[in-house]
Amino acid sequence: MSVLRFVVALAAVVVLLVPLNSCGNDAPSSPTLLNSATYSLTYSLTIRRSKSTVSVLTYRDQSGIITVRNPDRRWSIQLSVPSGTTIGMTAQGICDHGSIEIDMSATSTSSTVHDSYSDSASHANLTGVAPCPLSLDDHVLGS
């Protein structure tokens, strides 16, 4: 009699667990975006004073990380990217009696979605020569 009770109890547990296991299959596989807008995205670099330099600049677009070596003193790029694009920017340079500034800004181009994001960082060394590592944190547009 105890074997029969065990089998019935085991069958009841299996019947109860199978529906619970299938509940998790409806969850989305990726984060849900708040909008599906397109963004006008601008990255820029400004180097002040003639001896300061940037050797490597990186930025993110929808295809990944893009590297620019020895960019111009006033460098910028404007892109059109969709919601869900991760944006971010870094620069590695030397401040020699000057300063380096990086900026990124994104604004929705949709007439129904009003969203924008901007960030900037700068480093100055007006009395000598010093490394100037700059970084803007990654941000996902529209989330």
Domain count, the chain: 1
Domain membership flag for residue 23 = no
Amino acid identity for residue 133 in this structure: P
Domain membership flag for residue 9 = no
pLDDT at position 19 is 41
Predicted confidence band of residue 4 (pLDDT cuts 50, 70, 90): low
Domain membership flag for residue 82 = yes
Res 40 pLDDT > 90: yes
Rg (CA), the chain: 26
Domain membership flag for residue 16 = no
Asked whether the whole model's pTM tops 0.75, one would answer no
Whose CA is closest to 65, among 123, 132, 142, 136?
136
Measured distance CA(139)–CA(43) in Å, rounded: 13
List pLDDT tens digits, range 64-116.
999 999 999 999 999 999 999 999 999 999 988 888 999 999 998 876 667 78
Which of 30-34, 42-46, 50-54, 124-128 is least confident? 30-34
Domain membership flag for residue 31 = no
Res 31 pLDDT > 70: no
Measured distance CA(18)–CA(2) in Å, rounded: 25
* Arithmetic mean of pLDDT over the chain: 78
pLDDT at position 16 is 43
Domain membership flag for residue 20 = no
Residue 109 belongs to what domain range? 39-140
Cβ-Cβ contacts under 8 Å for 71 (sequence gap 6 or more): 45, 54, 57
Domain membership flag for residue 7 = no
Res 11 pLDDT > 90: no
pLDDT at position 116 is 84
Domain membership flag for residue 60 = yes
